[in-house]
Structure 1
Amino acid sequence: MSDKFEGGCLCGAVRFLATGAPKGVFWCHCQSCRRHSGAPVSVFVGIELHAYTVTKGEITKFKSSPGTTRGFCRACGSTLTCEVRQLPTETHFHVGAFDDPTQFEPSKHFFRNEQLPWLHLK
Protein backbone atom coordinates (compact mmCIF):
# COMPACT_ATOMS: atom_id res chain seq x y z
CA MET A 1 0.00 0.00 0.00
CA SER A 2 1.22 3.46 -0.89
CA ASP A 3 1.78 6.13 1.75
CA LYS A 4 0.14 8.86 -0.36
CA PHE A 5 -3.51 8.74 -1.30
CA GLU A 6 -5.21 11.29 -3.54
CA GLY A 7 -8.89 11.81 -4.07
CA GLY A 8 -11.69 14.21 -4.63
CA CYS A 9 -15.28 14.75 -5.60
CA LEU A 10 -17.05 13.79 -8.81
CA CYS A 11 -16.76 17.21 -10.50
CA GLY A 12 -13.16 17.88 -9.42
CA ALA A 13 -13.94 21.03 -7.44
CA VAL A 14 -12.54 19.39 -4.27
CA ARG A 15 -9.25 17.48 -4.15
CA PHE A 16 -7.33 16.13 -1.17
CA LEU A 17 -4.07 14.37 -0.36
CA ALA A 18 -3.66 11.98 2.55
CA THR A 19 -0.29 10.64 3.73
CA GLY A 20 0.75 7.82 5.99
CA ALA A 21 -1.04 4.64 6.93
CA PRO A 22 -4.81 4.83 7.41
CA LYS A 23 -6.09 4.40 10.98
CA GLY A 24 -8.47 1.75 9.65
CA VAL A 25 -10.91 0.85 6.91
CA PHE A 26 -14.42 -0.15 7.90
CA TRP A 27 -18.01 -0.70 6.86
CA CYS A 28 -20.65 1.52 8.46
CA HIS A 29 -24.23 0.27 8.38
CA CYS A 30 -25.94 3.14 10.20
CA GLN A 31 -29.04 4.76 8.76
CA SER A 32 -27.40 8.18 8.82
CA CYS A 33 -24.61 6.98 6.50
CA ARG A 34 -27.17 5.35 4.20
CA ARG A 35 -29.09 8.59 3.90
CA HIS A 36 -25.97 10.70 3.37
CA SER A 37 -24.48 8.43 0.71
CA GLY A 38 -27.60 6.96 -0.88
CA ALA A 39 -25.93 3.55 -0.63
CA PRO A 40 -26.93 0.51 1.47
CA VAL A 41 -23.62 0.69 3.36
CA SER A 42 -20.63 3.06 3.49
CA VAL A 43 -16.96 2.18 3.59
CA PHE A 44 -14.69 4.67 5.33
CA VAL A 45 -10.94 5.16 5.52
CA GLY A 46 -9.80 6.75 8.79
CA ILE A 47 -7.13 9.42 8.30
CA GLU A 48 -5.42 11.40 11.08
CA LEU A 49 -6.38 15.10 10.98
CA HIS A 50 -2.76 16.17 10.53
CA ALA A 51 -2.22 13.60 7.74
CA TYR A 52 -4.40 15.12 5.03
CA THR A 53 -4.74 18.42 3.24
CA VAL A 54 -7.41 19.76 0.93
CA THR A 55 -5.40 20.72 -2.15
CA LYS A 56 -8.25 22.23 -4.17
CA GLY A 57 -11.57 23.76 -3.19
CA GLU A 58 -13.23 23.25 0.16
CA ILE A 59 -15.13 20.46 1.88
CA THR A 60 -18.51 21.86 2.93
CA LYS A 61 -19.55 20.49 6.33
CA PHE A 62 -22.81 20.11 8.21
CA LYS A 63 -23.80 18.59 11.54
CA SER A 64 -25.94 15.62 10.60
CA SER A 65 -26.64 14.38 14.12
CA PRO A 66 -25.34 15.01 17.65
CA GLY A 67 -21.58 14.49 17.58
CA THR A 68 -21.36 13.86 13.83
CA THR A 69 -20.22 16.25 11.10
CA ARG A 70 -20.38 15.24 7.45
CA GLY A 71 -18.55 16.73 4.49
CA PHE A 72 -19.47 17.03 0.84
CA CYS A 73 -18.71 19.01 -2.31
CA ARG A 74 -20.85 22.13 -2.54
CA ALA A 75 -20.75 22.03 -6.37
CA CYS A 76 -21.67 18.41 -7.17
CA GLY A 77 -22.88 17.04 -3.82
CA SER A 78 -20.36 14.19 -3.64
CA THR A 79 -20.21 12.58 -0.22
CA LEU A 80 -16.65 12.99 1.13
CA THR A 81 -16.17 12.79 4.90
CA CYS A 82 -17.60 11.95 8.28
CA GLU A 83 -16.16 13.17 11.59
CA VAL A 84 -17.36 11.94 14.97
CA ARG A 85 -16.86 13.46 18.40
CA GLN A 86 -15.66 10.12 19.83
CA LEU A 87 -12.63 10.19 17.48
CA PRO A 88 -11.60 13.86 17.47
CA THR A 89 -8.16 13.29 15.91
CA GLU A 90 -9.30 11.69 12.67
CA THR A 91 -11.51 12.21 9.63
CA HIS A 92 -13.24 9.34 7.87
CA PHE A 93 -13.17 9.63 4.07
CA HIS A 94 -15.61 7.66 1.94
CA VAL A 95 -13.58 5.05 0.09
CA GLY A 96 -15.17 6.07 -3.22
CA ALA A 97 -13.66 9.55 -2.90
CA PHE A 98 -10.14 8.16 -3.41
CA ASP A 99 -8.65 7.99 -6.90
CA ASP A 100 -7.66 4.36 -6.27
CA PRO A 101 -10.09 2.81 -3.79
CA THR A 102 -8.69 -0.67 -4.55
CA GLN A 103 -5.86 0.13 -2.10
CA PHE A 104 -8.28 -0.15 0.83
CA GLU A 105 -10.07 -3.22 2.16
CA PRO A 106 -12.47 -2.96 5.09
CA SER A 107 -11.57 -5.08 8.11
CA LYS A 108 -14.45 -4.37 10.50
CA HIS A 109 -18.10 -3.40 10.69
CA PHE A 110 -19.83 -0.69 12.71
CA PHE A 111 -23.55 -0.53 13.52
CA ARG A 112 -23.98 -4.11 12.30
CA ASN A 113 -27.32 -4.12 14.13
CA GLU A 114 -28.57 -1.61 11.50
CA GLN A 115 -27.35 -3.66 8.52
CA LEU A 116 -30.02 -4.16 5.88
CA PRO A 117 -31.23 -7.78 6.06
CA TRP A 118 -30.72 -8.41 2.33
CA LEU A 119 -27.11 -7.15 2.32
CA HIS A 120 -24.67 -10.09 2.59
CA LEU A 121 -21.02 -9.20 3.19
CA LYS A 122 -18.03 -11.12 4.43
Structure 2
Amino acid sequence: MSNTTYTGSCFCGAVQLAVNGEPEAMGYCHCDSCRHWSAGPINAFTLWKPEAVRIIRGEDNIGSYHKTPQSHRKWCRTCGGHILTEHPELGLTDVYAAILPELRFTPGVHVHYQEAVLRIHDGLQKFRDLPDDIGGSGVSMAE
Protein backbone atom coordinates (compact mmCIF):
# COMPACT_ATOMS: atom_id res chain seq x y z
CA MET A 1 0.00 0.00 0.00
CA SER A 2 1.16 3.46 -0.86
CA ASN A 3 1.97 5.97 1.89
CA THR A 4 0.83 8.82 -0.33
CA THR A 5 -1.39 11.45 1.25
CA TYR A 6 -3.87 13.41 -0.85
CA THR A 7 -5.60 16.50 0.48
CA GLY A 8 -8.79 18.18 -0.55
CA SER A 9 -11.35 20.68 0.61
CA CYS A 10 -14.86 21.92 0.19
CA PHE A 11 -15.57 24.78 -2.24
CA CYS A 12 -14.54 27.56 0.18
CA GLY A 13 -11.72 25.68 1.93
CA ALA A 14 -13.24 25.86 5.42
CA VAL A 15 -13.30 22.04 5.59
CA GLN A 16 -10.16 20.18 4.61
CA LEU A 17 -9.50 16.47 4.56
CA ALA A 18 -6.68 14.06 3.87
CA VAL A 19 -6.75 10.52 2.55
CA ASN A 20 -3.84 8.13 2.91
CA GLY A 21 -2.81 5.37 0.55
CA GLU A 22 -4.81 4.52 -2.53
CA PRO A 23 -8.58 4.17 -2.91
CA GLU A 24 -10.25 0.77 -2.82
CA ALA A 25 -12.10 1.65 -6.04
CA MET A 26 -12.84 4.55 -8.34
CA GLY A 27 -15.69 4.95 -10.76
CA TYR A 28 -18.93 6.61 -11.66
CA CYS A 29 -22.33 6.37 -9.99
CA HIS A 30 -25.49 6.98 -12.02
CA CYS A 31 -28.09 6.53 -9.25
CA ASP A 32 -30.85 9.08 -8.84
CA SER A 33 -29.68 10.02 -5.33
CA CYS A 34 -26.10 10.77 -6.43
CA ARG A 35 -27.32 12.71 -9.46
CA HIS A 36 -29.58 14.88 -7.32
CA TRP A 37 -26.95 15.33 -4.62
CA SER A 38 -24.24 16.35 -7.08
CA ALA A 39 -26.63 18.32 -9.34
CA GLY A 40 -25.14 16.55 -12.33
CA PRO A 41 -25.84 13.61 -14.62
CA ILE A 42 -23.11 11.47 -13.03
CA ASN A 43 -21.02 11.36 -9.84
CA ALA A 44 -17.31 10.46 -9.84
CA PHE A 45 -16.38 8.53 -6.69
CA THR A 46 -13.26 7.35 -4.91
CA LEU A 47 -13.88 4.76 -2.20
CA TRP A 48 -11.61 4.54 0.84
CA LYS A 49 -11.48 2.53 4.03
CA PRO A 50 -12.78 4.90 6.76
CA GLU A 51 -9.46 4.78 8.63
CA ALA A 52 -7.73 6.24 5.54
CA VAL A 53 -9.89 9.40 5.67
CA ARG A 54 -9.45 12.17 8.20
CA ILE A 55 -10.75 15.70 8.54
CA ILE A 56 -7.78 18.02 9.11
CA ARG A 57 -9.67 21.30 9.42
CA GLY A 58 -13.24 22.45 10.00
CA GLU A 59 -14.80 19.30 11.46
CA ASP A 60 -17.25 21.43 13.46
CA ASN A 61 -18.37 23.01 10.16
CA ILE A 62 -19.61 19.75 8.62
CA GLY A 63 -23.29 19.13 8.06
CA SER A 64 -24.70 15.64 7.57
CA TYR A 65 -27.76 14.13 5.91
CA HIS A 66 -28.76 10.54 5.37
CA LYS A 67 -31.76 9.76 3.23
CA THR A 68 -31.06 6.05 3.77
CA PRO A 69 -28.90 4.11 6.23
CA GLN A 70 -26.52 3.28 3.35
CA SER A 71 -25.32 6.83 2.70
CA HIS A 72 -24.39 9.55 5.18
CA ARG A 73 -23.63 12.59 3.03
CA LYS A 74 -21.40 15.36 4.42
CA TRP A 75 -20.99 18.95 3.31
CA CYS A 76 -19.55 22.28 4.44
CA ARG A 77 -22.04 24.43 6.34
CA THR A 78 -20.39 27.62 5.07
CA CYS A 79 -20.36 27.09 1.30
CA GLY A 80 -22.49 23.98 0.88
CA GLY A 81 -19.59 22.25 -0.87
CA HIS A 82 -19.82 18.47 -0.81
CA ILE A 83 -17.04 16.61 1.00
CA LEU A 84 -17.77 12.90 1.31
CA THR A 85 -20.34 10.18 1.81
CA GLU A 86 -19.92 7.50 4.44
CA HIS A 87 -21.28 4.06 3.48
CA PRO A 88 -21.35 2.28 6.87
CA GLU A 89 -22.89 -0.94 5.56
CA LEU A 90 -20.07 -1.27 3.01
CA GLY A 91 -17.33 -0.13 5.39
CA LEU A 92 -16.25 2.49 2.83
CA THR A 93 -16.16 6.27 2.51
CA ASP A 94 -16.66 8.03 -0.82
CA VAL A 95 -14.48 11.11 -1.11
CA TYR A 96 -15.69 12.88 -4.24
CA ALA A 97 -13.06 12.71 -6.97
CA ALA A 98 -13.50 16.39 -7.77
CA ILE A 99 -12.17 17.53 -4.38
CA LEU A 100 -8.91 15.55 -4.58
CA PRO A 101 -6.97 17.52 -7.20
CA GLU A 102 -3.70 15.60 -6.84
CA LEU A 103 -5.23 12.12 -7.09
CA ARG A 104 -5.09 10.72 -10.59
CA PHE A 105 -8.69 9.65 -11.12
CA THR A 106 -8.67 6.26 -12.84
CA PRO A 107 -12.24 4.99 -12.98
CA GLY A 108 -12.75 1.27 -13.17
CA VAL A 109 -16.51 0.84 -13.18
CA HIS A 110 -19.95 2.38 -13.57
CA VAL A 111 -22.58 1.52 -10.94
CA HIS A 112 -26.38 1.90 -11.04
CA TYR A 113 -26.15 2.18 -14.82
CA GLN A 114 -29.82 1.22 -15.20
CA GLU A 115 -30.58 4.72 -13.87
CA ALA A 116 -28.19 6.52 -16.25
CA VAL A 117 -29.37 9.67 -17.97
CA LEU A 118 -25.99 10.14 -19.66
CA ARG A 119 -24.70 7.07 -21.50
CA ILE A 120 -20.91 6.82 -21.56
CA HIS A 121 -19.04 4.69 -24.07
CA ASP A 122 -15.67 4.20 -22.40
CA GLY A 123 -15.26 0.41 -22.35
CA LEU A 124 -15.60 0.19 -18.56
CA GLN A 125 -17.90 -2.38 -16.98
CA LYS A 126 -21.42 -1.09 -16.38
CA PHE A 127 -23.30 -2.70 -13.49
CA ARG A 128 -27.10 -2.57 -13.46
CA ASP A 129 -26.85 -1.79 -9.75
CA LEU A 130 -23.73 -2.86 -7.79
CA PRO A 131 -21.16 -5.66 -8.00
CA ASP A 132 -22.34 -8.78 -6.18
CA ASP A 133 -19.45 -8.68 -3.69
CA ILE A 134 -20.89 -5.48 -2.19
CA GLY A 135 -24.52 -6.50 -2.18
CA GLY A 136 -25.65 -5.86 -5.72
CA SER A 137 -26.91 -8.21 -8.40
CA GLY A 138 -23.57 -8.22 -10.22
CA VAL A 139 -25.46 -7.94 -13.52
CA SER A 140 -23.59 -6.06 -16.25
CA MET A 141 -25.22 -3.90 -18.89
CA ALA A 142 -24.22 -2.95 -22.41
CA GLU A 143 -22.85 0.51 -23.06
Q: The TM-score by the shorter chain falls in which range? A: 0.7 to 0.9
Residue correspondences, number: 119
Match of 1:95 among 91, 97, 104: 97
2:116 maps to 1:115: yes
Report the aligned-residue RMSD.
1.7
- 1:29-40 alignment runs, 5 A limit: 29-40=30-41
Amino acid at match of 1:16: L
Instruction: Find the counterpart in structure 2 of residue 45 from structure 1.
Output: 46
User: Structure 2: 5+ residue runs without aligned partners?
Assistant: 123-143
Counterpart of 1:68 (choices 36, 46, 71) is 71
Q: Is the 8 A contact 1:8 1:99 kept in 2?
A: no
Letter in 2 for 1:92: D
Letter in 1 for 2:95: F
Cα drift, residue 4 of structure 1: 1.2
Cα separation, 2, equivalents of 1:86 and 1:121: 30
Deviation of 1:120 (Å): 2.6
Identity %: 29
- SS of equivalent to 1:35: helix
TM-score normalized with structure 1 length: 0.88
Q: Which has the higher contact order (CA 8 A, sep 6+)?
A: 1
Q: Normalization by structure 2: what TM-score?
A: 0.76
CA offsets per residue over residues 25-83 of structure 1, 9 Å max, x none? 01000010011110110011111111121011023211122422111111111112122
Q: Greater CA radius of gyration, 1 or 2?
A: 2
Which residue does 1:11 correspond to in 2?
12
1:66 & 1:54 partners in 2: Cα distance? 22
